[in-house]
Amino acid sequence: MQADDGTTRTAPVEVGLEGDSQTQIISGLEPGDVLVIPQQSGGSGGFTFPGAGGLGGIGGAP
C-alpha cells in the first residue's frame, strides 16, 4: 500500500476467489487505499516493485 507521503508498506489481506488474472480481496483493505502491485520481471521469476508509476487499485489511478 502507498501512504500519502509516497512510502509503501505491505498489508496482510484475506484472499477469496483467485483466477488467472484477478484475485478477490475479502478483507484487509479499505476504500481509498492505494495499492502498488509488483510487476513480474522478465525471465527471472521474481518480482520488482515499480517506482512512482504503476499505481492503481482501490481508489488509485486507473
| pLDDT for residue 5 | 93
Q: Which residue has the higher pLDDT, 22 or 61?
A: 22
CA distance 5 to 8: 9
- Picking from 39, 19, 26, 31, the residue whose alpha carbon sits closest to that of residue 57 is 31
Confirm if 33 and 57 have CB atoms less than 8 A apart. Answer: yes
Give 4-60 pLDDT, tens digit per residue.
898 999 989 999 999 888 889 999 999 999 988 877 665 555 545 454 444 445 555
Q: Are 47 and 39 in contact (CB under 8 A)?
A: yes
Model-level pTM? 0.50
Amino acid 53: pLDDT: 45
Do residues 50 and 36 lie in contact, with contact meaning Cβ atoms separated by under 8 Å?
yes
